[in-house]
């Protein structure tokens, strides 16, 4: 190659066109730092979230409540509006999970 060829092929660097370094690690600090101090300790919340997400925790509580509600007499079950709402919510969430599993 001829040493003077660089005159015809200059490297042009526009602003913000240099090398790029990108950190791809997901950061959830913004979520846990948004927890108000009176609501709890963000470090403890982060560790608890690593054990089980809020959805997992709510799912276990919902299933436990529905299981306990089955022990009530039928007339009390039918009369309890919050229990009917909880069953409807649980049914809708399970339908969403099944629809996503089919994808």
Residue 67 domain-assigned? Answer: yes
Number of domains in the chain: 1
Kindly provide the b/e burial profile for residues 31-60, where b requires at least 16 CB atoms within 10 angstroms of the residue's own CB.
ebeeeeeeeeebeeeeeeeeeeeeeeeebe
Q: Is 92 a domain residue?
A: yes
User: Is 53 inside any structural domain?
Assistant: yes
Q: Along the 103 residues of the chain, how does pLDDT read in single tens digits?
A: 556 665 666 666 777 666 667 777 777 667 766 667 677 777 888 888 889 988 899 999 999 999 999 999 999 988 999 999 999 999 999 999 999 988 8
Residue that the structure tokens 């790029």 belong to? 20
* Assessment of whether the complete model's pTM goes beyond 0.85: no
Select from 25, 33, 67 the least CA-distant residue to 49: 33
Domain extent at residue 97: 39-102
Structural domain contains residue 88:
yes
């Amino acid at each position: 190659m001829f040493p003077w060829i660089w005159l015809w092929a200059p490297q042009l660097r526009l602003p913000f066109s240099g090398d790029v370094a990108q950190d791809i690690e997901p950061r959830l600090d913004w979520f846990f730092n948004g927890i108000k101090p009176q609501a709890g300790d963000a470090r403890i919340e982060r560790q608890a979230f690593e054990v089980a997400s809020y959805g997992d925790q709510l799912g276990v509580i919902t299933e436990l409540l529905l299981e306990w509600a089955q022990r009530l007499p039928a007339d009390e079950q039918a009369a309890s509006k919050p229990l009917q709402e909880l069953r409807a919510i649980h049914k809708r969430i399970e339908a969403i999970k099944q629809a996503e599993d089919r994808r």
